[in-house]
Structure 1
């Protein structure tokens, strides 16, 4: 059954990724057609064509390698401003790459395309066409996050007792079982049971979890604990002690350890290590239940997610050596290691197979898919070719040049020749392909495992 659920999770998440890629390209296709640009192809994947069909001017299909997708538009690169050199002098490699790219862009042109080419559209229209793809990923991420946060909700701690520890252990103790001679926890000695709802600690009402948690941490010595059990109110006398517990801030959020530079301290698997503090100790954990967030909290959560994606993009180059060592030298991967489509799908399969409530499993998969779409939005908006952001930058630069020319009454400089940047685009593509291959090898033979 576990193997079946794992396979199902891999398939479902993989399909979700393919649909996200198709959704991205649909943004380009729809806006390009809206502005009268001829689109010759709309494909998900690269390489050999597995299936295709033609409708109007456009061929729609799926290719063998599901690592992206594309919409092929007529005239992505403008024609050369000067006539080709016929002197017979050999071209430089840079010039040869530029002209090859220009020629490839013109190969699909047909009679009637004289005014249906991408470069002929106003810069603002080209910005819309190129931003529409990442924008679709952003829209999908917002929809998925909204469903999770405002519909299903996030786990929130309650005042109900979930577990009662048998013995006293420090928060950072590696032991899982009670060692010989370990004293009983105040909760176990007092007779508290899972399912009790704490309503008062030391005479202080505790309507919310943070109230109960704060009151317990601030209490040491004999303390009255009032709980609701089976519809009745029952009072217990617990002798609270001081112990090392997980540190929390004023909002009840866990405080993680940092080094001298303020960077998070992680364990061997890459998980952040909680800080500890000495406080009152009862020896219980609180149960959690999902609670929908409001609009403000949802917006704040999404804002934090955007910041997290931006940080991940900034740190991505520093992760490349680790991926290389994981792929070819057997180094264990950490939980914050980059993953590709295969790795993400594998994580989805492992999560779906876990013995946790089905709601939690589905929410995790949807949340991960939303995060992937947010990453696709941010990554594709980077201002480098061949990414969408590179084309957007070219259109904006063309608009600036034309405005300055008009302001100073100079001749129109014409469209920005994006072909001049194609050698750089080839380098970016080569780096992306090599990194993707490394990720694939690491994801297959040395995968990231969230569940140990």
Structure 2
């Protein structure tokens, strides 16, 4: 049964992956057609074509390797300075530029001179190139917010998970109570695991964030209303100042940072809690911020990734993970000892996270990524406006093809990184619990 559930999880993730890729390319396709650019091909995957069908002027198909997709637009790059698109050069770098330019004019047909990508105004090209990543962002937001509102997420609650026996500083090297340690205010007040705190000092505590803030802002006598065995009971505690872990503002803690604040002395239980629309949007914003920070930190994770792939180091939980690793995690999801609805929610989160990563990664201003083409169009617009302001001749389209040598270098780096992640995913995968 475990093997079949693993296979099912992998299949579900692959289907989600293919849909995400197709959805991304649909953004490019729809806006390109909106602006009259001819698109000969719309493909999901790479390698040999498994299935294709031509509708109108576009061939739609699926290829064998589900690691990406593309649409092919006519005239991605302008002609060279000599007006040609197929001139040859003995320089290997120049040949890269000319090969890219020549490929952009394959299958040129009569009348296509008015349907070339580069002839569209910069703002239209920005929309076409941004539409793909934007579709992934939309899908990620819809899934994340929908899951948090419909299913809920694992969060800290106002229910007591455990009660501290004594008062110990959060920065102490041990959690064992010294002989002369005082009982924690929570223990002295009679707080017990399983108690649900519904009010603090007479004020309702709808969530853990509110309760945590109220406790930390209080020293001295306080009343705690708890729900115990179906009845409400009011306890009296005497909170003290203590060194506690710094709050991140969302109920969590900042690692290795401490503050002095009010101390009661209990740990909250966790549970699946449905989020409101506002809470879901706030958490989505935090996810985007975390994703940006992770993308910036990506180069610093390469040494640990190398050691995990070729050494005996443990794979870090926040280690970069590729499609193979994500599919493997997808296979584990349906074997988790959690309710089926939470398995579905976790799988949806995995697909949403993949889409958020696609958006952030593609927005990097580097060729051959979408962000590189966006940067080229914005630069063209800027220099044309500058030429008008200073009454200089129109510099014409910015020739993005001249950056193709850089694009090949960037692509080479990406391929090497992808191979490193693939090896790590195979020999030392990230696992979920």
| Change in 2 beyond 3 A, CA 1:395/1:165 | closer
CA contact (8 A) 1:28 1:133 kept: yes
* Residue in structure 1 matched with residue 54 of structure 2 by the alignment: 54
Matching residue within 204, 219, 233 for 1:207: 204
**1:159–1:207: 8 Å Cα contact kept in structure 2?**
no
Q: Secondary structure at the match of 1:63?
A: strand
Work out the CA distance in 2 between the residues paired with 1:410 and 1:224.
75
1:119-134 alignment, distance < 5 Å: 119-134=118-133
Q: Which residue of 1 aligns with 2:139?
A: 140
Do the aligned residues in 1 keep the contact of 2:2 with 2:335 (CA within 8 Å)?
A: yes
Aligned counterparts, 1:328-367, within 5 A: 328-367=310-349
Provide the TM-score with structure 1 as the length reference. Answer: 0.79
Q: What are the equivalent positions in structure 2 for 1:427-442 lying under 5 Å apart?
A: 427-442=409-424
Q: Provide the residue aligned with 1:41 in structure 2.
A: 41
After TM superposition, the structure 1 = structure 2 runs for residues 106-185 of structure 1, keeping only pairs within 5 Å, are: 106-161=105-160, 163=161
Q: Secondary structure at the match of 1:114?
A: helix
Corresponding residue of 2:254:
256
- Describe the shift of the 1:195–1:23 C-alpha distance in structure 2 as closer, same or farther (beyond 3 A): same
Which of residues 293, 310, 316 in structure 2 aligns to 1:311?
293
Structure-2-length-normalised TM-score: 0.82
Tell me the secondary structure at the aligned position of residue 342 of structure 1: helix
Instruction: Tell me how far apart the structure 1 counterparts of residues 27 and 343 of structure 2 sit (CA, whole Å).
Output: 30
Pair 1:68–1:236, CA change in 2 (3 A): same
SS of 2:69's equivalent in the other structure is strand
Contact 1:172/1:276, CA 8 A, preserved across alignment = no
Aligned-residue offset at 1:157: 4.2
Alignment RMSD, CA only? 3.9
- C-alpha separation in 2, matches of 1:245 and 1:354: 37
The answer to whether the 8 Å contact 1:246/1:276 transfers is: yes
SS in 2 for 1:416: coil
Name the CA distance, whole Å, in 1 between partners of 2:211 and 2:104: 67
- Structure 1 stretches of 5 or more lacking a match? 177-182, 260-274
Distance 1:450 1:174, change over 3 A: farther
SS of aligned partner of 1:247: strand
The gaps in structure 2 that reach 5 residues or longer are 176-181
- CA 1:352 to 1:241, structure 2 compared with 1: closer, same or farther past 3 Å? farther
Q: Which residue of 2 aligns with 1:101?
A: 100
- Equivalent residues of 2:76, 2:116 under 8 A apart: yes
Q: Is 2:286 the counterpart of 1:286? A: no
